[in-house]
Amino acid sequence: MMELNQLTGVSLFSGGGIGDLAMRAAGVRLLVASELLEDRAAVLARNFPEAEVVAGDIATTFDSVVAATRERLGDEPLDILFATPPCQGMSKNGRGKLLNGARAGTRPKLDPRNQLILHALDFVRLFRPRLVVFENVPEMENTVIESRTGDLRGVMEIVSEELGALGYRGRWEVVEFADYGVPQRRQRLITVFTTSTVLQRAMRVHETALPPRTHMQTPRNGQRPWVTVVDALCGVPPLDAKDKKLASSALPYHRVPVLDRDKYFWVANTPPGRGAFDNQCVNPKCLYQGNTTHGSTHDEEGINRANTHTPVNCERCGELLPRPWVVEDGVHRLMRGFTSAYKRMRGDLPASALTRNLSYACSDQKLHPDQNRVLSLHEAFILHTVSDYEFTWSRVDGKKLSDKTIREIIGESIPPRGLQVIFDYLASHLRVVP
């Protein structure tokens, strides 16, 4: 057998290039990358000067992506297409918004963003890369889109049918990236299709296109334990969101928003793995721990709604509980929200999935495991494993990069450490020619 070391790749829906770090680390030379938003494309171009970055909606820039790929490839074949089509219309949150909008008559039942994957299939038809990798939310398996003929079909059914007709064989499965050594629990659907007979044979033998998991919550067969938040953030200077003097350090991006007095009260009394909506009495003369906890129920339309009767005052002594409240006409009532809001991470587990709202205490499980604050961006870089790689948080045009854009890039990307394990495995099979 002969080994081929030089691999080429194209990335579609690239974001700021976080996933492409894994492809580059696996020895793949990125030729062309496409990204909708100009600010993210500017970060991508700054970190991948070897690639031609095409910014804009792929529905209108597709011909430019094709032309750039042809120019960069010359007479050589393309090895890898890596595509991460938008997930907002596929995720649970996105589908919920669509459902509510459809009921109100304000939005279509099918999100047009879900159609964008068809452009990736068109690209495959033109260039026939040896390996096609799609990454998206697990809900992609059950997403319905309008096919090219106008009928409604499952997106994975369309992918399998169109790539199968071109000679590709493949499979898809949901991956927990904590199982690849990422200190973050992030589940994604990884889809792999290939024309490589070596990789196709491996898929048949192992009944998977992916490498063995390296880590597990309960290790066995030589696997290692999950990397926890405490493991990953060991040595990071402490911060406290009580005031500005305590909420920042000299370390770049290691700063957090200051919490107002009420929010700090709620957060400071929230134990690891729990949410502030369930906090109990802190009156030293009472300390009653049996107050009714928060929850939700499904209404007659099947929509999950937060309970409205959860107490904000101690049911024994009447003192205000450290639960998220609002004041109306001088009366405190519980803030509307679910138990995942103002929730503290557990230090003995990988972090919950980082989202674009990672700097907001009211978001889903974003409180530091033992300090009274949210995570800093510096800590997010570590937990998302961007800090494993050479990456500059700046734009190629020199314009200021906002924290908001950084949060969005992280929240809508995949941790490169885990993805590199996958790309290392796939690339090793591509490099072997029978």
> Residues in the chain with pLDDT < 50?
1-3, 91-95, 99, 102
Residue 114: predicted pLDDT: 76
Answer yes or no: are the C-beta atoms of 346 and 370 closer than 8 Å. Answer: no
| Alpha-carbon gap, residue 276 to 369, rounded angstroms | 13
| Alpha-carbon gap, residue 171 to 132, rounded angstroms | 11
**Residue 232 phi, psi (nearest 5):** -70, -35
Domains, the chain? 2-225+402-433 (3.40.50.150)
Q: What is the pLDDT of residues 15-55, one digit of tens each?
A: 999 999 999 999 999 999 999 999 999 999 999 999 999 99
**Contacting residues for 167 by C-beta, under 8 A, at least 6 apart:** 195
Scan for tokens 């700021």, then name that residue: 16
Residue 315: predicted pLDDT: 97
DSSP, res 367: B
| Alpha-carbon gap, residue 52 to 366, rounded angstroms | 36
Q: What is the pLDDT of residues 261-277, one digit of tens each?
A: 999 999 999 999 999 99
Residue 4: predicted pLDDT: 52
Identity of the residue numbered 426: L
| Alpha-carbon gap, residue 152 to 115, rounded angstroms | 11
Specify burial of residue 58 (Cβ count, 10 A radius: 0-12, 13-18, 19+): buried
Residue 67: predicted pLDDT: 98
Vertex 264: Cα angle to 258 and 267 (nearest 5):
115
- Total Cβ atoms within 10 A of residue 364: 18
